[in-house]
Each structure stands twice: as structure tokens, then as C-alpha cells.
Structure 1
Amino acid sequence: MNPDQFQKNSMFVETPEDGGKNFDDDGRVKRTGTWITASAHIITAVIGSGVLSLAWAIAQMGWVAGPAVLFAFSFITYFTSTLLADCYRSPDPVHGKRNYTYSDVVRSVLGGRKFQLCGLAQYINLVGVTIGYTITASISMVAVKRSNCFHKHGHHDKCYTSNNPFMILFACIQIVLSQIPNFHKLWWLSIVAAVMSFAYSSIGLGLSVAKVAGGGEPVRTTLTGVQVGVDVTGSEKVWRTFQAIGDIAFAYAYSNVLIEIQDTLKSSPPENKVMKRASLIGILTTTLFYVLCGCLGYAAFGNDAPGNFLTGFGFYEPFWLIDFANICIAVHLVGAYQVFCQPIFGFVENWGKERWPNSHFVNGEHALKFPLFGTFPVNFFRVVWRTTYVIITALIAMMFPFFNDFLGLIGSLSFWPLTVYFPIEMYIKQSKMQKFSFTWTWLKILSWACLIVSIISAAGSIQGLAQDLKKYQPFKAQQ
């Protein structure tokens, strides 16, 4: 989901010439969003590549803890989103001044050092997601090639294919797309990405249902997930459980764009009330979808559930449908990568303009004509910086091409600060809550508990990355 697509509604201030009938209280064009459009935005923002790892995550924890953790994250995400909704306007949640982005809210309510920490957390999350998407897209492209190989040579053929050429291909596509200075004009790409996301998620769900309904070879599922001494060692069980928690946290990350979604709502009824309703509907819908995908995926594969249930080859046939699902993932991530890297590009380029205001290299625009495509503005700094960024993310992805570990790490790093800590701190500050009161105390306990969960899930993901890297190097040398 693109934060810019919500911000574009408030990019330009127009002067009211009709007595203000077509303009909101801040002088901007009247917003027309409703709880229906906001719910749709939330569902589109939440459902993404995180769904692919849920069957594996449930397998690590079993029938009891797996769904319980899913429901816990959904409740925490909904609860903190209601706190954040009250901070869209400040200091009063109904009549206060509007804040147009998440960072604007933090600056307005908390200010100073916490605003800088929020920016750091957001940009770490954005960089991590672009690396993760490079990994995921390449794995899906490899899966298409391997699926056709298995169909041709049989399921027992190794059909080894390196991820690296596909990461390079993905990076080349991103280098070209990254040169578009006003990416928010390509609104259609976000729509395509949303359609692709629903398509591959639904295909995975459908294949899981078909496998469970079709019977066939029985699979092992247990109340506690993978079994110590049978599937994993004791330490592996612990680390994998921590990592699975991070994967689920990644699947629920949408706080980054909540304020931008709220900024599309019309002012009557009050935006905070409408946003709370939309959050409830959006999170209930995605939780139902996640529970179905995770639990049916676990029922289909049991304790041997692959890390990515569309590329781990729990399914081999129909190969054309699996190919289509993986193509949908790759197309979705082509657009999604740009959604997350554009704010990074904008931040660095604005900093460059302020740092070197007289540099022609940094600020100069040149018109470049392309046959059949027209004229495009080209800036040398933009070309060099954006190309360098895409290459660096691709190189890091080549070094750590591990889907689950990276999703878990991104989820654990972004969940606590952006989904829990800042919404709670802003709500406490804006409501002028008395220190050590009952509500203040349990909100702080919730925040600290979520911090501990984030730390242990990050540790699990880092340990998983280290272990996979050890296994990957000898395997790579043998090929």
C-alpha cells in the first residue's frame, strides 16, 4: 500500500473561491472517504506477502498457540490503531489541527527526540521491506522455473535454480521504475498490486482447501506444533517459535499508513470514530483470512509446512495455477517495492537539496526524449542515488536470501515502535493521562510486554539467518 496515494489528496492547498463549500477546515479539497473506502484501504494495506509464511508459523506453535498468537496480534493492532485514530487531530481528537502523516502526528504530539526516533524506525522498516521484497520476488520467479521443471522431469528431480539471476532481473526493473520522479501518478500500479495480492492469497487458500478435502497422504499435526526430537531439537523449537512470532507481526504491519488513510475521510461524522469502525472491519476481515490461510495451510502440510506455501513445493499440481500465483507475487512486489522505497528516495533527495542548494548535479533537471514515450525530466543525482540504492538492496538480498528469517526480522523491528510504542505514548500525552493511574499503568505494561516480544522474535530471526547462512554457503559451493 502506498502512503503517497493517500498523501496526494493533500499535496496542494487551494484557495476557497466558493465560500468553502468544496473545501475542508484546513483549506484543502473536501475529503470524501467513508468507513467503506477506509476499510478497503486497510485490507489492501495489511494483506500481502506476509500471508505466505503463516502456515509455517502455525506449524511451529501448533493448533493452540498458533491461532492464539494470531488473535493476540490482531487485538493489539486494533487496540493501538484506535489510540492512533484519536491522534489524527491534535490536541483535540475531533476539533484539533489535522496531521497528514504518521510522522506529522509524532512531531505534533511528542516532538523533539521522539520524532527523530520515529523517523529512524520508519526508515529502517522501509529499507528492510525493500530487501525482503527483493528476496520474495526472486524466490517466486525461481518457483515458476522449478515448477515447470518438476512437471517435466518429476517431483524427485532437484531442479536447482539460483536466485541471483532473478534478483538481478528484479533490480534492473526497479532501477528503471525508480527513475520516475512522480511515482504517485502511477496510481494504477497500486491497484494492480492489490489485485495480485488477493489473487495469490486466494490461490494458496484454495489449494490448501483442495489438499485437505482430497485426503491423500496423511500429515502430522499436533497441539504444540513441530515436535522436539522428531522434527527439531529443543533449541530449534524455541528459536523457530520466536521467529514465527516475528512473521505474524510482519503480517499485521499497517500502522505506518493509518494516518494517511484517515486523512482521506470526510469530516462528518468525526474522522476518529469512522476510522475506529474501519479498523475493526479491516482487521476482522484480514484476521479471518489469515486464520484460514494459516490453519488450512497447516492442515494441508502438517509439521512439514514450507516456509512459503506457494514456493516451498508443498503443492506441485496444477503447475500452471502455481505458476500463475507466483507470477502474481512477483508483479505485486514490483509495485510494492516502489511503494516502500519512494519515501526513502524523497528523504535523501530533499536532504541533498538543502545540503547543496547551488549544485547543478543535485538540483539540475534535464529533458530527455524517448521515442514513443515522450520527454522525461532527468536529474543526475536522482539517477546515481536511486540506482545505487537498488543495487545495494539487491546485493544484501543475495547475501541473505532467506524468506522467513527476513520477514520475521522486519516484523519484529517495526512492530513495537510503530504499532505499539508511539500510539500509546501519543495517546497518554494527548489525553493528559495521570501518571501511575490504572490506565496509564496497564498501557505501559502492554508496551513493555510487546517490546519483550519484539526483542525475542528479532533474536529468533537473527539466529535463523545465521543458521541458514551456514547451511547455504556449503550448499552453494556444491552446486
Structure 2
Amino acid sequence: MKKEESFSLEKGEANQELDDDGKPTRTGTWLSASAHIITAVVGSGVLSLTWCLAQLGWVVGTSFLVVFAAISWFTCILLTDCYRSHVTGSRNYNYMQAVKTNLGGRKYKLCGIAQYGTLVGVSIGYTITSSISMAAIKRSNCFYKYGHDKECHTLNTPYMLIFAFIEIIMSQIPDFHKLSFISIIATIMSFAYSSIGIGLSIAKIAGGAYPRTSIGLPTRTDISNMDKMWNIFCAIGDMAFAYSFCAVLIEIQDTLKSSPPENKVMKTATTIGISATTSFYMLCGLLGYAAFGNDAPGNYLTGFGYYDPFWLVDIGNLCIVIHLLGAYQVMVQPFFAFVENWSHRKWPESGIVNKDYTVGCFRINSFRLVWRSTYVILATLVAMIFPFFNEFLALIGSMTFWPLTVYFPIEMYISQVKLRRNSFTWIWLKALSFVCLLVSLLAAVGSIRGLVVSVETFKVFRSMS
């Protein structure tokens, strides 16, 4: 009887209340994992791709998009095998724990700084993006009502506060395992607004829009060669940001049933997620560039706010807001869990930290309520101070791409398989990591320079759309 029970728990069968490690049974599948990935990937990044192509041209821009997709897929496949220890078979519940198991304590701390710094940055970026989309709805309706000659500028700050209020409520969802339904809704929304953007681009092209585009790097006379170079670096960072889900891959994998093996299911989900999002990225970016040309706006869907049908543009921007409400939670839940797990270990006897209260059908924890609400408020405050869409996304992308998407997965793979130093595979993996480091550094320099220039002329809490 004990053997049968042990085997059943190990397989993670649905009729068992506990999993193989004594924790509640996981119920995730390839479908829920794919939804989490698409929710995390297709976020703010898709909206900036048209602008990126306007800085890089058809060939270079498309090539970078394909390369980033291929590298992200390859390193994520490596990362899925780091979920369980190769020695003991025990689970690593998060990215940091996987790094600690495979690479040791010092790199574990560096990973924590990179991962949680990135997740904080992404939550700020999503706040900025959602406010721009909400403001675009009001602005397009203003154009429809008063005509296109009226400027209809709208202050973004109130919309950031609305977004923050909703996130304070949603942040009380206790953990990643309760997000599947929200991720599925967010995934539907991401496909909806991407499809609307594609449709509007096709309609604009069919309507006789023949903007100037470039096969190679665009030649521009309206900005200096130095500004052009900085924009190119920033565009590369934006493209890197478009694939910044590696930071939560292990956390997503930890929601999967243990049978079939989590790494096999996660590889399937990763392939589906990246393939689907890259297809939409290509369609949105390339068609958007064909519609707007070298004068493409930073956020391509808000660029349609000047044109009819205004109601379709409004639906697209509403879908963005709904998607980002869910994506915010997918990206920030690991950071919430890290702080709360540390607090439980630090104050094991504290009722405020450890005791839950039942209010109707909800379970409320005092510490979770105060800490998560404070976080959302602080993130919103930073978004109000630095509401610069493209530059901020590029900075997050540069911070994320090399350490979390490339360096740690490669180093963990080398450690796991005990790859011989200076062997052919070791050399090309190290070379890939070094090249990606250079790309991240260039993107970081470009984004920081863009932020500095933007701050010089910006009035705090006066961001306008």
C-alpha cells in the first residue's frame, strides 16, 4: 500500500491532495504553460516593433527579430532541464533556486539581482504602456468628436492611477498557481489587439499609404548620425525586451503536473509560445512598418488613433490594457513570492506575516495586503516620474536579455553535462554568450542615453499622450 501511494504521489495524479514533495498537487498542462508564456512575452514589446524596424530597416530589423527568437528558444530549452536536480531529482521552485543548485551561492545572488530587478522594471513598463493605451482611447474619441485638427492631448497620470488601483486588488491573488485563468484571458487579449493592429495596417496599406521604407539601415535627414546610432541601439534593446519571459520560466514550469515529465511538457509549451508570438511579431512589425514607414510611432497601435475606424482602435487599446493587467501579475508574482518567503523565514512566529483571515470566500493575509499594495504604489510612482515608453522598454530588455536569457541557462547547461573546457561546444556557447553581452551593453547605453535626453525636457507627473 505504501509503495502504491508513493508511486501515485510521484506521478502527481489529480486525486491526490499532495504532490511528490508534500506541497499541493500541481495541475498545470502544456496549454496553461503556453498561455503563461504568451501572456509574459506578448506584452509591451509588440507595440514597439514597428518603431524598431523604422530604425533598422527591412533586412536588419527582420534579421534581429529572428535571431532574438532563435536564441531565446534555444536557451529556454536548456533552462527547462534545470527544473529538477540531476543528482537528487528534487524540484527547483524558481529561477534563483535553479541557479543556486547548479552554479552555487555567489551566482545565485547575482541572479537574484538580475531577475527581480528585471521583474520590477517590467511592472513599471507595463504601467506606462497601459496608461498610454487608456489615454489613446480618450484621444481617439476626442478626434472623432471634434475633428483631426484638434490636438486632444491627454494627461497619462490619472490612467496610471486607475491601472494601479486594479493591480492592488489583483495582487492579492496568493501565488502563481492561481493565475491560469487570468493568463488565458490575457492571451486571448494579446491575439485580439495584435490582430486588430495587423488588420489596420493592411487597411492602411490597401488605402494607398506608400510611406518611405528602407531595405538597409534608413538614411534620415531629420536627425543627426549620432542620434540615429542611439536609436538603433535602443531599437535592439526593445527587440530584446520582446522576448523577456525567461525570468519566469522556472516559475511557470513549477505549475506543471509531474507526469508527463515537466521538462518535456515545458519544451513543448516553450516551442508553441515562442513560435506563436514570433509569428505575430513578424506580422505586426512588418505590416506596421509597411503602413507607417520610417516615421513609425513608438507605440504603433496608438498611431492609429488619428484614423477611422476609431471604435476598432479603441477596442485594440482596451485589449492591451486587459492583457497587461494579467501580464503584470505573471511577471511580478515571483518577486512577491521571494519577499514573502523570506519574511516567513525571518519571522516564523509573527501572526501578521503568517496568519490568513477568511473574509467571505477570500483569504486575506495582512502582510501580503500591505506589502503588495505598497509595491504597486511605488512602481506606479516610478512610472509617473519616468514615463518614457521606448527607452524604458529598451533598458529592461538590455538588463534581461544577456544575464537571464543567455548567460545563466548556458552556464547551468555546461555545469550539468560537465562540458569539457575548450571543447567545440564549450567554445561556441561561450562565444554566443559574449556576443549577446555586447548586444545588451549597446542596448543599455542607447536606452540610458535616451532616458537622459527625455528627462531634460520632461516635467514630472506631466506625461502627455
Residue deviations 1:435-454 (CA, integer Å, cap 9, x gap): 12221112111111111111
Instruction: Give 1:227's match in structure 2, choosing from 219, 223, 226.
Output: 219
Instruction: Give 1:74's match in structure 2, choosing from 69, 75, 83.
Output: 69
The answer to whether structure 1 residue 24 and structure 2 residue 15 are counterparts is no
Shift of 1:176: 2.7
Mean CA deviation greater in 108-117 or 465-474: 465-474
The residue number in structure 1 matching 2:449 is 463
Cα distance, 1:20–1:345 mapped onto 2, change above 3 Å: same
The residue number in structure 1 matching 2:238 is 247
3-state SS of the aligned residue for 1:78? Answer: helix
Q: TM-score, normalised by structure 2?
A: 0.88
CA contact (8 A) 1:24 1:31 kept: no
The answer to whether structure 1 residue 322 and structure 2 residue 308 are counterparts is no
Distance 1:44 1:478 in 2: 27
The answer to whether structure 1 residue 163 and structure 2 residue 150 are counterparts is no
Residue deviations 1:178-231 (CA, integer Å, cap 9, x gap): 344457435422222111111111111111111112214x31111234423x23
Cα distance, 1:430–1:27 mapped onto 2, change above 3 Å: same
The answer to whether structure 1 residue 50 and structure 2 residue 45 are counterparts is yes
Superposition pairs of residues 347-386 of structure 1, within 5 angstroms: 347-367=338-358, 369=359, 374=360, 376-386=362-372
Mean CA deviation greater in 43-52 or 114-123: 43-52
The residue number in structure 1 matching 2:59 is 64
The residue number in structure 2 matching 1:120 is 113
Instruction: Give 2:423's match in structure 1, choosing from 430, 433, 437.
Output: 437
Cα distance, 1:21–1:177 mapped onto 2, change above 3 Å: closer
Distance 2:257 2:363 in 1: 34
Cα distance, 1:377–1:36 mapped onto 2, change above 3 Å: closer
Instruction: Give 2:291's match in structure 1, choosing from 281, 288, 300.
Output: 300
CA contact (8 A) 2:39 2:183 kept: no
Instruction: Give 1:199's match in structure 2, choosing from 188, 192, 195.
Output: 192
Residue deviations 1:391-429 (CA, integer Å, cap 9, x gap): 111111011111111111111101111110001101111
Mean CA deviation greater in 52-61 or 165-174: 165-174
Distance 2:463 2:57 in 1: 35
Shift of 1:64: 1.4
Residue deviations 1:275-299 (CA, integer Å, cap 9, x gap): 4455444433322221111111000
Cα distance, 1:206–1:158 mapped onto 2, change above 3 Å: same
Distance 1:375 1:338 in 2: 21
AA aligned opposite 2:118: N
The answer to whether structure 1 residue 400 and structure 2 residue 396 are counterparts is no
CA contact (8 A) 1:140 1:327 kept: yes
Superposition pairs of residues 400-439 of structure 1, within 5 angstroms: 400-439=386-425
CA contact (8 A) 1:31 1:267 kept: no
The residue number in structure 1 matching 2:323 is 332
Q: TM-score, normalised by structure 1?
A: 0.86
Shift of 1:44: 4.3
CA contact (8 A) 2:385 2:461 kept: no
Residue deviations 1:104-123 (CA, integer Å, cap 9, x gap): 32122112111121122111
How many corresponding residue pairs? 455
Distance 2:113 2:347 in 1: 23
The residue number in structure 1 matching 2:145 is 152
Distance 2:411 2:378 in 1: 35
The answer to whether structure 1 residue 211 and structure 2 residue 204 are counterparts is yes
Mean CA deviation greater in 73-82 or 35-44: 35-44
Gaps (5+ residues) in structure 1? 1-14
Instruction: Give 1:387's match in structure 2, choosing from 373, 377, 382.
Output: 373
Distance 2:405 2:125 in 1: 19
3-state SS of the aligned residue for 1:20? Answer: helix
Shift of 1:335: 2.0
Shift of 1:469: 1.9
Cα distance, 1:272–1:175 mapped onto 2, change above 3 Å: closer
Distance 1:277 1:19 in 2: 27
AA aligned opposite 2:247: N
Cα distance, 1:386–1:89 mapped onto 2, change above 3 Å: closer
Distance 1:352 1:37 in 2: 29
Shift of 1:359: 4.0
Distance 2:397 2:101 in 1: 26
Cα distance, 1:358–1:82 mapped onto 2, change above 3 Å: closer
Residue deviations 1:14-47 (CA, integer Å, cap 9, x gap): x876563464287269878776765555444422
Cα distance, 1:261–1:310 mapped onto 2, change above 3 Å: same
CA contact (8 A) 2:253 2:262 kept: yes
Distance 1:341 1:266 in 2: 24
Residue deviations 1:300-339 (CA, integer Å, cap 9, x gap): 0001101111123465211001111111111112222222
The answer to whether structure 1 residue 107 and structure 2 residue 100 are counterparts is yes
Gaps (5+ residues) in structure 2? 13-18
